[in-house]
Structure 1
Amino acid sequence: MLLTTLYLVYFLGLTFALPSIQPDTRDSTTLVKIINKCKKPIQLYQLGNQQSQSSVVTVNVGGTQSYRFDGPWSGRFWARHEECWKSSMCQNASTAIPASLVEFTFLSADGNDFYDISFVDGYNLPVSIEPEKSSKADNSKGDYWCQKPVCRNVPTCPPELQVWVGGVYSACQSACSKFRNQEYCCAGLFDTPEKCGINKHAQSVKDECPDAYSFAYDDEKSLYQCRAPVYTVTWCP
C-alpha cells in the first residue's frame, strides 16, 4: 500500500496491497450477489478500478442485487440506510462519513481472488462475505482460504468518533481521520508494517469484529483468498 498523506490514504480507503491483476486460465466470470437482511432499505454503492464515480441502487429489505464481472476486476461495495441518503456527504465512502467496505480483487496472483471487510476508515453496517466453494477450493491452504469473513454486530463506537447526520447516528469515524495521528494512520514515520502495529483504537475494533481490517497493515488476519464463481455479500447478516 502506498501511504502518501494522512488524508488521501484514508479517503481512498485502500487497506491492503495486492499483486498486480493477471489473467488466468480459470473461468473468468465472477458474480457478486448482494443481499439486504437489514431492517431498512439500503442504498448500495459500487466503485471499480475502471469507474470515475460510484454506481448506486436501492435494495429493499430482503431484496438482492447482482453484479457480473468478466475478467480481472478490483473494487469495493458499501451501503447506507435511508437517513443518510439526502445528504450529499453520504454519497461517497469518505473519512467524513465512513461506511463499512467490502473489497474484491478478482483474478489476481496465480488466478486467485482476494477479498476483505474493511473498517480501517470507519464503519456503519454489519456485513459478511461468503464465497461459493467449487472443486478448485483447497481448504488445506489455511484459515483464510475460501472462508467467510463476517461482522454480525459493528463494534461499539466511542462518543468522540460518532458521526451524526440530521440528528441521527450514521457511522463511526476512524481514529486516523479524527485525530490525524501518524501512528494511527500508518503514515509518515509509521509508514511500514514493521513500524505500524495495531493501536488501541484499532484493537478495540478487532476485538469485536476479528475478521475485519482494523488498521492499514492488518493483512495477516483480515485478507482472504479463494477461486469462487460467486461471492455473496450480506448486509446485516
Structure 2
Amino acid sequence: MLEIRLQKFLAHAGVASRRKAEEMIKQGRVAVNNVTVENMGLTVSGNDVVTVDGNPVEVEEKKVYIMLNKPVGYVSTSKDQFGRPTVIDLVKDAGKRLYPVGRLDYDTSGLIILTNDGDFTYRLTHPKHEINKVYEAVISGFPEKNEIKRFESGLKIEDYQTSPAEFSVLDRKENNTLVRITIHEGKNRQVRKMCEAIGHKVLTLKRIQVGPIALDNLPEGKWRHLSDKEHKMLY
C-alpha cells in the first residue's frame, strides 16, 4: 500500500468518514506504531500498525453499499447511549461493519444508505456536492403561496440560512397537507424546522430519494445492495 494520510486510511478501513476520522485524531484516540498521533498530516503505509481506542485497524478491500428503508423508532448511529434500536440492528446480516451515510431522525422513516467506504460517505454528505434529498411529509394546515415562496427561497433557522429548496403540494386532506420537499443540505431536523418556520408542523416525514437513488417499493425495515450502476450514479 502506498503512503496515504491517516484520516484517509481510516476512511478506507471503514472506521468512519474522513471528517469523523479527523475528529478521532484530534481526540487522541488514534495511534500509529504505539504512538498517539498529534499531527493531522501524518501519512501511513502497509507497514504501520494503526489502532483506534487500542483496537488494531485493517483495511477492508471489499466495499459494501446498501440502502435501507428505515422505520420510525430507530436511530441513525452505530450505537445509542440510551439503548434505543439502531439502523445497524437492521443490517446485521449484511456481513460487514457498516455505518450510516448522514442521518435520519428517530421519528423519520425512509431511505438511508450504509457503507464501509469513508470516501463515498464524504462524497454524499459534504455540502459542496449538493446531493439532493427528497422527502414526503404530512404537515398541519394548508400552506399559502407566500409561505411556499419563502420556503423555496431559503429560511433563517437558528444560526444558519438554508439554501433554496423545492416544495410542492401533493394532496390536501381534512386539516393536513401532503407535500414533497427537496433539499441538498443535511442540518439536524432541517425539514421539520423549515416547515415550522413557515407555520406548519410536520406530522410525518419520510425520505424517498437520495440523489438519483429512489426508495421505490423496498419494504420498511428491509435493505438491499446498491447495484454497480446505482453506486456509479452517486459518484
TM-score normalised to the size of structure 1? 0.25
Larger Rg: 2
Highest RCO, 1 vs 2 (Cα 8 Å, sep ≥ 6): 1
